[in-house]
Structure 1
């Protein structure tokens, strides 16, 4: 039986600001944005080509905004992915080379930390 990670909660302080960052700057797709009740809002966003999404919102149990580190997305070409982020206004690190891959790092407006990894071939 396959176990597939489908959704990761990312704690944010301002849902609209985070949604704008992830869709307009990081290039994620907005799958759902539902205001279930006055207190509960659920927003699901998916990186291009990914089978796993992130959830942001209000009224859900979550960690402190900005407290998630080490979120990682694998890309075919880290230089191209980095250039796209820079073009859309994301502050992103220079490419860092390690024996296990090439990486760039960035954070959302709350400080949640992301890495893009190109796996060596």
Structure 2
């Protein structure tokens, strides 16, 4: 049995750096994530043949979201599994609703230990959850 199969540290993975979210129009997505959600743009790099590597993130957040064009046979509008954190869930729900974002009708409250939360969709229908 090797050291890596005995349960000792076998990789040098240190953190979740970014997640990819498929979007139909990178400019429209960039405007939504930066202009509407208030994220910061961390990268917008041409990759040749009209492709771009775009990363956005909440200000000061460790992990980023890469706004990618869908791979062949895929489409935007996915359940991302991404859960964002809010300091004030009610204020953020109201602010996003007022900005025209497709948010759940209300903040869900199931009681401890489940945090208050609501879902929202970006312009491509990609689904996210915000918790407090």
Return the TM-score normalized by structure 1: 0.83
- What secondary structure is seen at the aligned counterpart in 1 of 2:31? helix
User: Which runs of 5 or more structure 2 residues have no equivalent in the other structure?
Assistant: 1-11
Select the residue among 110, 117, 132 that pairs with 1:98. 110
The answer to whether 1:10 aligns with 2:21 is yes
CA separation in 2, counterparts of 1:62 and 1:29? 30
User: Which runs of 5 or more structure 1 residues have no equivalent in the other structure?
Assistant: none
CA separation in 1, counterparts of 2:72 and 2:44? 17
Count of aligned pairs = 118
Deviation of 1:86 (Å): 2.5
- Which of these two proteins has the greater Rg computed from alpha carbons? 2
CA separation in 2, counterparts of 1:12 and 1:114? 14
Moved more, 73-82 or 105-114: 73-82
Q: Deviations over 1:61-89 (max 9, x none)?
A: 89521123321111121012212222332
Match runs of 1:41-120 below 5 Å: 41-58=52-69, 63-93=74-104, 94-99=106-111, 100-118=114-132
Select the residue among 41, 44, 54 that pairs with 1:30. 41
Runs (4+) off by over 6 Å: 59-62
Deviation of 1:16 (Å): 1.0
Larger relative contact order, structure 1 or 2 (CA cutoff 8 Å, min sep 6): 1
CA separation in 1, counterparts of 2:43 and 2:36? 18
RMSD over aligned CA atoms reads 2.3
